[in-house]
Every structure is written in C-alpha cells, then in structure tokens.
C-alpha cells in the first residue's frame, strides 16, 4: 500500500514523499529507521478525490479565525497559547484541526510559514507574508490584514451571488425552454412543411443551426471540465494570473483590490516600525496575484541602492501613474503613511464602484437578453406555422 508522509530529517529539514508499507505503523517504523521523524502519514488519494472531492473552509470562516488569532496575539498571549485557544474556539472542524496541527509543528521548531502552508487551507498570500515575519513579531498585523481581506472578498462574493441569482435563474430557464422548443417543436413543424413542399423560413433555419452548434458544445463539455480541473498542471500559475488581469471588469476589480491591499499592508508595516525594505517584502507577499507579486521581486534591492520608493515602483510598470504620484508626494512631504492610507481607500472605493455598477447593470441586461431570445424563438416558430396554415388553405 502506498502511503504519503511528511517528516523531519536529522538536519531538521522538512521531508515529504511516498513509502510502500502494509500499514501506517510499519511505515512509521521504516521512516524512523531511515532517520526521518514522521509528522503525518496518510493513504495516497486518487487524483479525482484529491482534486474534486476535497473541500476547503469558506473564506468567511478563515477570516473569522485569522481575526480571532490577531486579537489574541494583540492581547499579549504568545503564539502557541493563542493557537491553542483558537483551536478550541473555532467551530469548523477542519480549521480547528489545522490550527492544532500548526501549533504542534511550531512546538517542534518548524518555521511558521511552512506550518501554515502544510495544512493547505490558508491562502498563498498569507504564507508569503509570514515568510518575512519572525515568530511573535508583527504577527497580529499580518493576521489582521489577511483576515480583513478574506472578509471583504467573502462579502463581495455574497453580494454578487445574491444580486445575480435571479437573473441567472431566468436566463438559464429561458435557454432550457428554447432548447426544448428547438429540439421537439420546430423539427415537427419542419417535417409537416416539407410534406407540403415548402421550405423553412430563414429565421427558423438559423435557429436550427444554432441548436446544432449547442448540441456539439454539449459533447465538448466533459473536455471542458477536464481542462478546468487539470489545466493548472499544464499552464504556469503566473501566466494564468497574468491572463486573469486582462479579463474585462473582473481583471480590473482584482487589480484594484491588490493595489489597495499592497498600500494598506505597507502602511500598517511602516506604522508598526518595520524598516521600509522589510515592509516592502511583507507587502509584496500580501498580493494574491502571482504575476503582480513576482513583478516586485527585486524592489528591495533597488531601494537599498538609494533609489526612492516612487522611482522603484515606476520601473516595475505595474502601478498606475496616480499611485506612483501619490507615493512621490508622500515621500517629499514626509506624509508617506497618510498617502498610503489615501491610496488604500481610493482603490478600494474604485473596485467597489466598479462592482456596484455592473451589479446594477446585470439585471436590466439579463432582461434584454431574455427578451431578444424569446422574440427570436417566437418568430422562428410562428412564421413556419403561418406558412403551414396558408398551405392548408390552398
């Protein structure tokens, strides 16, 4: 039986791999004999169970846990005690188990960011932020930033879902009705018209052609599902994130949110007394888009050479002129924290404005689409029936 393990070798390095053993007890003894102290041993899961069945906690639950952890740390508790208390307070069993696992890993001397990464339920940007933090240093700010961001994302997702549920339901129902008409009603009318020696109207032919295309697309649906599930194995994550920024509306919203979070994280880090170079490293880790994050990989080195922050950010070609100009103004006036706060609020408000506009626009747009579809189908059905009636009268 193949078993997956995670352990610590004699040099204190994290080791992961696969071992063949009849059971977990035998695997444990084999690993110890190889100089590896096992942390976790589990059965190897199939690709389908690993990719499709595995469920992660919601962003809202993760946000609540991180904000609680930030509050416990800011009250003066040390990290292990705060994690122990949080593990007992959280209702979600997966989060509670993950927090307990993180606590055990830290007590064994495992780095904090690796402990969070190993449980595989926390977002990547949190792990990146924790890489730049020492144990017990500025952790409450990091967890507060991550928790507030996840809460904001959860609120936006709920708002969008509640606003689009009705239009989406009506559109889907209309499309299903059209498919039923095209599949069962129009072919019968076409057969009757053919028996009278008449041809179908052009609009009805177009409808039948569209129905054939939709039928072919249904055959491609399994391939589309496989592509969605396994696409990340063939395309680099950074490339996918670069493409996501070019998606109309959604790309702009994600871009604005990342700019806002970068500015907010940098402001909180500077206010906490963290040196600017380390604050930049911490803020870069708060960016969820890996393309944007990797574009900022060398900014600390450039800053250490004596260049200004606005000059360094300009050379990345990632930040809009307004963002850079406000940073430059803050540097010259000695009000960098104030400018960063303004930037955070500005781009956060801009993202919410874009979302609100398209949510308001979605319902009338969906009604217009439905009206066009219904009118098209009605004419496609009525015209052949009219010609059929005229043929019978003759």
**For 158-172, what is each residue's pLDDT tens digit?**
777 777 777 778 778
Strands 14-20 and 2-8: antiparallel
pLDDT above 80 for 255: yes
Indicate the range of 19-28, 39-48, 97-106 predicted with least confidence: 39-48
Q: Which of the four pLDDT bands, split at 50, 70 and 90, describes residue 228?
A: low
Residues paired with 3 in a beta bridge: 19, 43
pLDDT above 60 for 52: no
Structure tokens at 251: 């790309």
Which pLDDT belongs to residue 330? 92
Which pLDDT belongs to residue 54? 53
Which pLDDT belongs to residue 137? 56
Q: CA separation (Å) from 391 to 199, 257, 314?
A: 11, 63, 74
pLDDT in tens, 229-247: 666 566 677 787 888 888 8
Percent of the chain with pLDDT over 70: 86
How large is the angle between the packed helices 59-74 and 93-107, nearest 10 degrees? Answer: 40
Least Cα distance to 137 among 78, 84, 192 occurs for 78
Q: CA separation (Å) from 262 to 134, 313, 323?
A: 20, 12, 11
Which of 131-140, 188-197, 322-331 holds the top average pLDDT?
322-331
Which architecture characterizes domain 59-151 according to CATH?
Up-down Bundle (1.20)
Which pLDDT belongs to residue 47? 44
The model's pTM is 0.61
Segment 106-113 mean pLDDT: 85
Contacts of 55 (CB under 8 A, 6+ apart): none
Which pLDDT belongs to residue 342? 93
Segment 81-108 mean pLDDT: 88
Residue that is written with structure tokens 């498919």 in the block: 179
pLDDT above 50 for 261: yes
Domain residue spans of the chain: 2-43, 59-151
pLDDT above 90 for 120: no
Q: Give the CA diameter of the chain.
A: 96
């Amino acid at each position: 039986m193949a078993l997956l393990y995670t352990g610590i070798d004699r040099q204190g390095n994290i080791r992961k791999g696969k071992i063949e053993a009849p059971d977990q007890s035998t695997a444990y003894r084999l690993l110890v004999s190889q100089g590896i102290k096992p942390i976790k041993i589990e059965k190897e899961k199939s690709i389908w169970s690993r990719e499709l069945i595995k469920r992660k906690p919601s962003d809202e639950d993760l946000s609540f846990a991180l904000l609680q952890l930030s509050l416990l740390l800011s009250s003066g508790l040390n990290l292990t005690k705060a994690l122990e208390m949080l593990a007992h307070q959280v209702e979600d069993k997966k989060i509670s188990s993950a927090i307990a696992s993180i606590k055990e890993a830290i007590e064994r001397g495992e780095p904090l960011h690796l402990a969070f990464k190993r449980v595989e339920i926390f977002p990547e940007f949190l792990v990146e932020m924790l890489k730049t933090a020492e144990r017990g240093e500025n952790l409450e700010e990091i967890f507060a930033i991550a928790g507030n961001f996840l809460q904001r994302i959860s609120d936006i997702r709920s708002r969008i879902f509640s606003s689009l549920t009705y239009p989406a339901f009506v559109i889907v129902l209309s499309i299903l009705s059209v498919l039923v008409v095209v599949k069962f009603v129009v072919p019968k009318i076409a057969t009757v018209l053919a028996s009278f020696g008449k041809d179908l109207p052009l609009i009805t032919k177009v409808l039948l052609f569209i129905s054939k295309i939709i039928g072919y697309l249904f055959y491609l649906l399994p391939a589309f599902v496989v592509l969605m599930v396994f696409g990340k194995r063939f395309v680099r994550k950074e490339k996918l994130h670069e493409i996501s920024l070019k998606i109309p509306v959604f790309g702009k919203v994600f871009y604005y949110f990342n700019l806002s979070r970068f500015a907010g994280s940098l402001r909180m880090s500077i206010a906490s007394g963290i040196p600017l170079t380390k604050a930049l490293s911490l803020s870069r880790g708060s960016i969820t888009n890996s393309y944007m994050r990797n574009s900022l990989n060398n900014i600390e080195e450039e800053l250490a050479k004596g260049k200004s922050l606005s000059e360094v950010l300009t050379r990345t070609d990632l930040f809009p002129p307004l963002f850079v100009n406000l940073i430059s103004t803050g540097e010259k006036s000695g009000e960098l924290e104030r400018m960063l706060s303004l930037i955070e609020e500005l781009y956060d408000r801009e993202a919410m404005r874009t979302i609100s506009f398209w949510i308001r626009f979605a319902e009338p747009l969906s009604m217009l689409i439905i009206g066009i579809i219904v009118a098209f189908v009605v004419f496609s059905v009525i015209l052949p029936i009219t010609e059929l009636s005229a043929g019978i009268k003759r």
